[in-house]
Amino acid sequence: MDLPRTPSFRLDGKRALVTGGTRGIGLGAAVALAEAGAAVTVLARTASDIDELTAAAAKAGLKIDGHAVDVTDRERVRSLLGADAVFDILVNSAGLARHAAVGEITEPDYDAVMAVNVKAALFLSQEIASRLIAAGRPGSIIGVSSQMGHVSGPKRAVYSASKFALEGMTKGLAIELGPHNIRVNTICPTFIATELSAKSLADASFRSWVLSKIKLGRLGRIEDIMGPVVFLASDAAALVTGSSLMVDGGWTAE
């Protein structure tokens, strides 16, 4: 009998690009991909954060470099990446949240959230996919979405709108890029203990509500996202595209 063999989770020889890669989920994604053997480039707004990450990565024997840039600046991003760079993996992890009750939502906040969570993700995906297609190479594009791209919550109208848009965009890209063997998926975390969620979770009643919704009874950790990122980036997920990987502790089970 010829036994089937598990496809590799290794990413040796691959190049990965991670936006928002110096903090929170983006940091976890960058480290996880590097640990799996990829050469990782991170994009983030703060040069000192990139310097700190690359130094720590070098000490750990990981291949991580980076550029300080606002991901909404398409021309600057393209220039920093260089005309000939081809990335096998893209993780759109840069994200913005400005939560407000419906009567307090402002147009500038709406525009800012959509610019990062949707527009920047779309056009960077376009850029990376175009390079892969020109090089005749397969690839994996991963969007860091949210459980709030499938349900919603108080003061989350704008944030949820951006994540629902990301989910729809992912399916559209998966349809068009599938013939080029470029897979497009999202990871949908619950509340992860990061700098981005700290302000909301500081409210005791809100934190209690969050924990009541998570069936596993705890907040997420950055480490909870690292395995799913490697899975979606690797050959282990070779037939997975246009999908959402829920990492929500069971929040959306009901």
Which residues are the active-site residues? 159
Closest listed residue to residue 138, CA positions, set 188, 90, 196, 67: 90
Residues 6+ apart with CB under 8 A from 5: none
Q: What is the CA radius of gyration of the chain?
A: 18
CB atoms closer than 10 angstroms to residue 245: 19
Q: Which 3 state secondary structure label does DSSP give 79? A: helix
Taking the alpha carbons of 119, 96, 230, 152 in that order, is the dihedral positive or negative? negative
Cross-strand pairs, 192: 220
CB atoms closer than 10 angstroms to residue 205: 7
Taking the alpha carbons of 224, 86, 183, 3 in that order, is the dihedral positive or negative? negative
Interhelix angle 74-81/121-135, nearest 10 degrees: 30
Place of tokens 């260089």: 82
